[in-house]
């Protein structure tokens, strides 16, 4: 069954009807620029084929009944005056979006709503952001409002920071909302300027799952953010975006070592992201690959967010790819997926090498996907 068939079958089974509105939003894989977004820096994601779909039939005045079809779980609440749930997991993403829409003055109708997705959770490919973005699309359409991709992304980001309590940046939601098919998206996370970078046809983006699940809600993410803020305050800048490598060198031995290392990563990844955007545009995989390898090293040694499995997988991929491309852990960290960029004609050999020697912690072969950069979120039918 396709994702769309699952959504329609699940909606019909739960509510005995077809949804009036169907929206979709993709997951994303970040090529480079990690933990830079909340430092007002740069990131460069592409949208992936896996996505979340939302089906909705509004019924003004009724409760909002929500079915998470993949989990077989449900929620029900009055959309005006919605509150967070303790340990509410996916429910708080939905409730968070409704709450932010209320705050923005949108009167969210009740009704029948179902969610289905193909993004594996805990893999660093933004299943939560795609849920928030797809849901925002569906609810706005239901009340006849058209918002820009950026406004939708920023509302979805506020929703994730609110009820779920993750102090995330804006990378995931902007990637899900504003990417374009066949392109990577260079995001200036401060000015919100977006640059679509066409990906040359002979370049392949490959994702390999380490099989180590990551948890964004555990404290590490917020701790990294606090360390970056400490470094920025010491350097006397509003955000690490405003600091350069010379300022960092001058602070060595004065700023505490941990915050100094965190700043090294962020300042370095900002520079690498801008350089990688130029290199990719010029079809220069040699430079792109070197920057990705440097980014992985920096995530491992300076930012402390890789794990043995993603270190091993990145090393394996980098060896198999050679000099024309590279690989790095992608996303928030502590496991999840590794992203690789290479020439298309190398894909079979590289995947073969990974399948021959990498096993997940449970001894399974890793899941591999060869991505065709997808379009950002939108409405499918209404």
Q: Which token pair is 23?
A: 């929206």
Q: How far is the CB of 112 from ligand GLA (least distance, A)?
A: 29
Q: How far is the CB of 146 from ligand GLA (least distance, A)?
A: 25
Comparing C-alpha atoms, which of 294, 280, 268, 298 is closest to residue 342? Answer: 280
Does the annotation count 172 as an active-site position? yes
**Closer residue to ligand GLA, CB minimum distance, 8 or 214:** 214
**Closer residue to ligand GLA, CB minimum distance, 27 or 110:** 27
Q: How far is CA 166 from the centre of its chain?
A: 13
Query: In residues, how long is the chain?
Result: 382
Q: Where are the alpha helices (DSSP H) in the chain?
A: 3-15, 90-103, 127-142, 149-162, 171-178, 220-235, 245-251, 257-281, 285-301, 308-321, 347-357
DSSP 182: T
CA pair distance 256, 178, nearest whole angstrom: 38
Residues 128-187 within binding reach of ligand GLA (CB under 6 A)? 168-169, 171-172
**Closer residue to ligand GLA, CB minimum distance, 22 or 168:** 168
Catalytic residue among 40, 75, 99, 172: 172
Number of residues that bind ligand GLA (CB under 6 A): 11
Residues 321-380 within binding reach of ligand GLA (CB under 6 A)? 331-332
Q: Say which residues have a Cβ less than 8 Å from residue 144's Cβ, sequence separation at least 6.
A: none
- In terms of Cβ atoms closer than 10 Å to its own Cβ (0-12, 13-18, 19+), residue 163 is buried
**One residue of 19, 31, 34, 99 binding ligand GLA per CB under 6 A:** 34
Q: Is residue 119 at the binding interface for ligand GLA, with CB under 6 A as the rule?
A: no
Q: How far is the CB of 289 from ligand GLA (least distance, A)?
A: 20
Write phi, then psi, for 78 (nearest 5 degrees).
-80, 125
**One residue of 37, 40, 70, 75 binding ligand GLA per CB under 6 A:** 37
Q: How far is the CB of 173 from ligand GLA (least distance, A)?
A: 8
**Closer residue to ligand GLA, CB minimum distance, 38 or 260:** 38
Give the binding site for ligand GLA (CB under 6 A). Answer: 30, 34-35, 37-38, 168-169, 171-172, 331-332
**Residues labelled as active-site residues:** 172
């Amino acid at each position: 069954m396709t994702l769309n068939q699952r959504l329609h079958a699940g909606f019909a089974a739960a509510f005995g009807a077809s949804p009036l509105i169907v929206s979709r939003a993709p997951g994303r894989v970040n090529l480079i620029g990690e933990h830079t977004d909340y430092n007002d820096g740069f990131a460069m994601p592409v949208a992936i084929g896996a996505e979340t779909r939302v089906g909705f039939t509004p019924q003004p005045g009724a409760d909002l009944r929500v079915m998470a079809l993949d989990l077989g779980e449900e929620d029900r609440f009055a959309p005006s005056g919605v509150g967070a749930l303790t340990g509410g997991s996916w429910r708080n993403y939905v409730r968070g979006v409704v709450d932010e829409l209320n705050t923005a003055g949108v009167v969210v109708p009740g009704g029948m709503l179902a969610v289905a997705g193909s993004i594996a959770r805990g893999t660093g490919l933004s299943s939560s952001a795609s849920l928030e973005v797809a849901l925002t699309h569906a609810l706005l359409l239901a009340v006849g409002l058209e918002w820009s991709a950026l406004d939708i992304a920023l509302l979805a980001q506020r929703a994730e920071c609110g009820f779920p309590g993750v102090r995330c940046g804006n990378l995931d939601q902007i990637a899900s909302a504003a990417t374009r098919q066949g392109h990577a998206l260079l995001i200036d996370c401060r000015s919100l300027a977006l640059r679509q970078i066409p990906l040359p046809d002979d370049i392949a983006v490959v994702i390999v799952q380490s099989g180590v699940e990551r948890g964004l809600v555990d404290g590490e993410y917020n701790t990294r953010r606090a360390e970056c803020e400490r470094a920025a305050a010491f350097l006397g800048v509003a955000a690490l975006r405003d600091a350069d490598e010379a300022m960092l060198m001058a602070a060595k031995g004065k700023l505490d070592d941990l915050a100094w290392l965190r700043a090294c990563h962020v300042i370095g990844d900002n520079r690498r992201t801008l350089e990688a955007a130029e290199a990719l545009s010029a079809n220069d995989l040699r430079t792109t690959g070197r920057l990705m390898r440097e980014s992985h090293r920096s995530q491992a040694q300076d930012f402390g967010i890789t794990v043995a499995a993603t270190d091993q997988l990145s090393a394996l991929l980098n060896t198999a790819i050679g000099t024309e491309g590279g690989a790095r852990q992608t996303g928030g960290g502590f496991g999840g997926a590794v992203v690789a960029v290479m020439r298309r004609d190398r894909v079979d050999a590289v995947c073969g090498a990974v399948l021959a020697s990498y096993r997940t912690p449970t001894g399974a072969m890793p899941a591999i996907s060869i991505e065709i950069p997808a379009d950002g979120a939108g409405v499918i039918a209404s």
